[in-house]
Structure 1
Amino acid sequence: MATPHGYSPPPPGFGGGQRPAATALYGPHLDGDTMPALYEELRGTHGPVAPVTVAPGIDAWLVLGHRELLRVARDEQDFSRDPRRWSPLRDGRVPPDSPILPYVAWRPALLFADGQQHRRMRAAVSDALARVDGHELRRRVRSAAEELIASFAGRGAADLMPHYARKLPLLVISGLLGLDERPGRRLVHAISRVGGATSDSGRASRRINAILHALIEEKRSRPGDDITSALLHHPARLTDEEVLHNLLVMFIAGHQSTVDWIATTLRVLLCEPAFRSSPTSGHLTADDALDLVLWRFPPTQNLPARYATRALRFGGQSIRVGDMLILGLAAANADPAVLPPGGPATGNRSHLAFGAGPHTCPAQDPARLITRTAVDTLRQLLPDMELAVEQSELAWAPSPWSKGLTALPVRFTGPRPSRTPRTDRAGPGTTRPGHPAAAQTGEAR
């Protein structure tokens, strides 16, 4: 009988074999420059599935192969999304201050569910996202982008990370969820404190809950044209707790990944010779740059996690019940079996940057629209923009999970007048980015 790629039945008496030596998938030395070499070293040593540690004393498997990752992402029967199946967590071997815990702790959200529970919550999230009008979203992104560009255009130079890439998704996504700009900023700050495993983590978690509870209460009594209202009034009848945690997942996944997608696309357009042309000339387009980023520099490098529901032989390794498997999205994209070194990465959207299977990100269309509009608006208003430092000075933030720049300094002579009519910014029936009535993102792959 034929078996799926990467899988063979476990041998008799399977489960007691010795685990191969693991490589640490954490530490300040891991950044966007060092990670690709690490993936290839692990692939050469272990094959498509490699043993790693994701925190001190916490073992996992990193899935590097493209076909193997598809198998893990698509098969809920053997690889569950529910972290309550994770053996170290069930056995009390994960310290409460472990740095991996914020990434994998169970919540009543679609990201941590399988089967019918997942389908019920995903239906609500997908329907809420489907209500987002693309033309209106593009207008909101452009309006917010113009205001941000106006705030630094007169200086002739700017660091696009803090002044543009980090601010724009906050404004847009907060508006989509129905949050005002100020609570949106408070939410970003609180989320950043939770992941630090510091004494402030508990307080930050309570602040997050308070912000989202207040939003839910407001939208339950006064619904608007936003994702929160759509979730609250969907036929799936999500509880307030389910709405809260799905909003949190959408905000976390949508904000950081969009920040990094915008900034890295701008880096490609500024640095890659094939893209150094005016917005209206040249053969390679901004869409090509967006696709190249998703292939070569996906904003999410590695995604935790799946949990083996039974012992099996997979990718040449002996997987035990309750083992954690990390989806190596960047490594799988670079698998020589599907993309030979130097192979084309434009005009091709078969990458795994948005995941695969039941948990494929449902927000990739609005995410792309936001990123494309952010990039286009900046290039149109500052057409002579160029790097203010040598390309070699651009650094990636240290992280095994995401791939984002620490800074993106540019210089320019001045802004080109906007072509957006002033009447498009306000008026009856329109809203500004960040306004509660404004209605991205979704499941983190």
Structure 2
Amino acid sequence: MTTTPSPLSAQHPAPPGGGSTGATPLYGPQLDGDTLPALYEELRRVHGPVAPVLLAPGLDAWLVLGHRELLRLTREEHHFSHDPRRWRLLLEGRVPPDSPILPMVRHRPAVLFADGREHRRMRGPVSLALAGVDGHELRRTVEAAAEELISGFAARGEADLVSDYARQLPMRVVTGLLGLDEDTGRDLVRAISGLAGADASSADASRRMDEILLTLVRDKRRRPGTDITSILLRHPAGLSDTEVQANLVTLLVAGNQTTLNWIATTLRIILCDPSFQSSLTGGRLSVDDALDLVLWRFPPTQNFPARYATEDMSFGGQDIRAGDMLILGLAGANADPAVLPADGAPVVGNRSHLSFGAGPHTCPAQDPARLITRAAVDTIRHRLPDLRLAVPEGELSWINSPWSMGLRALPVRFTDPRPPRAGQAGALR
């Protein structure tokens, strides 16, 4: 996996009346985990901390790459709203109804798209539901699911740790927390993956995701349990079925794909960096250090939509118009030279990265996501201590997405798997 320069030769002028000029496409088959880091740095060099981009043909936006600027973007709701109904291009009728971007940014009655009092009304139930997740029980559930998955391929001596492990593990755990059965959960995760792909199938994937979750909400309204969906439904805030469904979408889209990518990329670093692997084995670094290194250097969510300017302003050296869309460039902001060590040393033991956002809308599920990822990495390192890549590192490739940074596959080989830890075999219910 090599990083190659990504020149801005594919620039397009902004559409008439657009808020940016010289906008660079943030889409297309040429952009993936290898080329995006170089693109962010060239955008920073040419435009500074806020750069004009195209999310799709004719749909211009601003990508916020500066660490300081992104903090301001996430903290000042009076200047930068979460409500996509403020989006000027949408109000002007310039967003095609079948745009692949629309499923990710269209308004839903959820915490992600609300400001001020309405945000606080929905944030309370979501935070309470997540706080009610027992960390010890969650870790046991993750370890049991991980053991079951590993046992499914252990005898082969080889596996793809994306399709056989990282893609399946969060799905099993998160959909169980929501109260979904395994088959429906698998269908739901396929829909979420289609949504994040930002292509022609995204609209159908979004509709399927909504159908599954609304059916779940209505079922839990009739037969409540102890799951997150039921907790949201019975909260005194009185969320409607549609609001509960929309907040489940937010949790799933932001959580499942992020955790999948976080697991796979952490395993890639451990497999591909002998000195890091040696430091882990020798106890000089912890698995949490590996997790944080991924969040700094390879954020599972590269870019996150969106904020909308509430007025004309100067921001990051650019003239922003009211209603302009601003994208949270999480990966670009983490790579801002202003916050990185001057000697280029890896950032270890530092969690001031912006991989989970910042401000009032900081991801409320980051603690469960970390627990799931840590348990997933710990378990497979224990069971398969001689894990090694089955292909040269340069042959690994990333998915194409303007939002997500994930490996297509992580083929590995191993011998002599260890038995499950005591108490883990058969523990998954």
Letter in 2 for 1:300: T
- 1:301 aligns to 2:299 (yes or no): no
Structure 2 match to 1:350: 352
Determine the C-alpha separation between the residues in 1 that align with 2:163 and 2:183: 17
Instruction: Count matched residues.
Output: 412
CA deviation after TM superposition for structure 1 residue 203, in Å: 5.3
Determine the C-alpha separation between the residues in 2 that align with 1:100 and 1:367: 25
Structure 1 match to 2:228: 227
Structure 1 match to 2:420: 418
Structure 1 match to 2:108: 107
Determine the C-alpha separation between the residues in 2 that align with 1:227 and 1:20: 45
Pair 1:193–1:268, CA change in 2 (3 A): closer
Q: Which moved more, 1:95-104 or 1:138-147?
A: 95-104
Determine the C-alpha separation between the residues in 2 that align with 1:261 and 1:186: 21
Determine the C-alpha separation between the residues in 1 that align with 2:178 and 2:19: 48
CA deviation after TM superposition for structure 1 residue 124, in Å: 0.5
Determine the C-alpha separation between the residues in 2 that align with 1:386 and 1:199: 36
Structure 1 match to 2:364: 362
Letter in 2 for 1:369: L
Q: SS at 1:62's partner residue? A: strand
Equivalent positions of 1:284-295 (< 5 A) are 284-295=285-296
Structure 2 match to 1:385: 387
Equivalent positions of 1:250-261 (< 5 A) are 250-261=251-262
Q: SS at 1:325's partner residue? A: strand
Letter in 2 for 1:211: I
CA deviation after TM superposition for structure 1 residue 65, in Å: 0.5
Which of 407, 410, 418 matches 1:408?
410
Structure 1 match to 2:400: 398
Determine the C-alpha separation between the residues in 1 that align with 2:333 and 2:229: 34
Q: SS at 1:349's partner residue? A: coil
CA deviation after TM superposition for structure 1 residue 236, in Å: 1.0
TM-score, normalised by the number of residues in structure 2: 0.92
Determine the C-alpha separation between the residues in 2 that align with 1:139 and 1:382: 19
Letter in 2 for 1:83: P
Structure 1 match to 2:122: 121
Structure 2 match to 1:61: 62
Letter in 1 for 2:275: A
Alpha-carbon deviations, 1:129-164, whole Å to 9, x = none? 000000000000000000000000000011111000
Q: Which moved more, 1:271-280 or 1:308-317?
A: 271-280
Determine the C-alpha separation between the residues in 2 that align with 1:370 and 1:161: 15
CA contact (8 A) 1:166 1:259 kept: yes
Determine the C-alpha separation between the residues in 2 that align with 1:372 and 1:198: 31
CA deviation after TM superposition for structure 1 residue 199, in Å: 7.9
CA deviation after TM superposition for structure 1 residue 416, in Å: 0.3
CA contact (8 A) 1:301 1:329 kept: yes
Q: SS at 2:404's partner residue? A: coil
Gaps in structure 2 of 5+ consecutive residues: 1-16
TM-score, normalised by the number of residues in structure 1: 0.89
Structure 2 match to 1:73: 74
Determine the C-alpha separation between the residues in 1 that align with 2:299 and 2:18: 35
Determine the C-alpha separation between the residues in 2 that align with 1:18 and 1:263: 37
Alpha-carbon deviations, 1:10-57, whole Å to 9, x = none? xxxxxx998431111111111111111111111111111111111101
Q: Which moved more, 1:186-195 or 1:381-390?
A: 186-195
Structure 2 match to 1:212: 213
Pair 1:197–1:373, CA change in 2 (3 A): closer
Structure 1 match to 2:276: 275
CA deviation after TM superposition for structure 1 residue 273, in Å: 2.2
Q: Which moved more, 1:57-66 or 1:208-217?
A: 208-217
CA deviation after TM superposition for structure 1 residue 399, in Å: 1.8
Determine the C-alpha separation between the residues in 2 that align with 1:409 and 1:193: 23
CA contact (8 A) 2:125 2:232 kept: yes
Determine the C-alpha separation between the residues in 2 that align with 1:334 and 1:75: 22
Alpha-carbon deviations, 1:51-84, whole Å to 9, x = none? 1111101111111100000000111000000000
